[in-house]
Structure 1
């Protein structure tokens, strides 16, 4: 059994297609989707159709803050660009897709042994606070006894751990290198953003998880980076009525522009 952990797709069809193809080619048979399926990108309906089909086929999915915002609709106090993104995205979706977003759970338990999936953190899932570093990661791990937590929201891949004595540590993973997850520690995995990486690397992020095969074996996590057609994603954005700054943001965050 091999799991793929995918988060922060942000309506980026090109990135999501590339990640799904890579995960399946790597033998992934189970999927956990950690929210923010919409927002920023040009293809929310296509992405949601794929997500809904995967959930119907057994995938786990949780709600992100962008999913909540789009399902509820724009608010008067929003920044004008944020309101424009929410309004445009809602106009692309049908009622079934909006209801799907609204009904997504904030967190879910997973089959790969004592695993918790949540978009932002386990200590206040609806508060949408970021796991900026070790202190927030420890707070999240202390909030739930799950041996493995998997969180989105932060767009850069990271791995945190906590020992039974309270000693914490973190790793900035190297793509393609499998890392053991010894069972005597708690672990928190941040796979990084599929649809909008923000670490200067244009490749889409996700993670592969191999559960322990026995009590004598360690589970393993492998962070992956997948090249995709960034130009096509930008051209799709330019063809929408959303703010032009979204293209600048995507290219700048990817390190492709100024």
Structure 2
């Protein structure tokens, strides 16, 4: 796929064709999420199965074309396993780590993964700042959906991604203001300007910000938990 050469270039993406077996498992995943969200741990905003399918599970599938041909992926702040578990169902050839800082959610995810019999997934309870100390720059792609604004997410993801890999932030229309704050300083994290992909899922317009990893992320990143939000890296030296 042509990623383009500018952060102003948009490429529209669609969900690739899925075979019946995979779609059935994705629907089952939606059912399980609805059950957990109603009875046990709130893993998604909505509780009804149809909304979970459309706004969360299906919404995660637009990024499938951006995933690497092989390798290791990590989903930071995965919550109910989105997008990482949906990707794992569609791409059993990939090794996918689901990371979340809330133990109740990771405990629920372990049960869901077991029920779905997905074998290419590992679930980790912890923060991205800690994982980057243990597994620095080993992932082919690191992703976050609905975690924080783009610049903050970049500090979480870049230390996890190997040079030549991709940091992927899944956003809504407000991404433009988030990017404007950075003033093109992505190289301070070892990243290139994002390649922007858009999609339409029902009434929702989504955007995939794919940051190519061009050089090693400086060792100072990630900083200790909470620092990324309190003192954004692009303002740290002001």
Taking structure 2 as the reference length, the TM-score comes to 0.32
| Structure 1 or 2: more helix by fraction | 2
TM-score, normalised via structure 1 length = 0.31
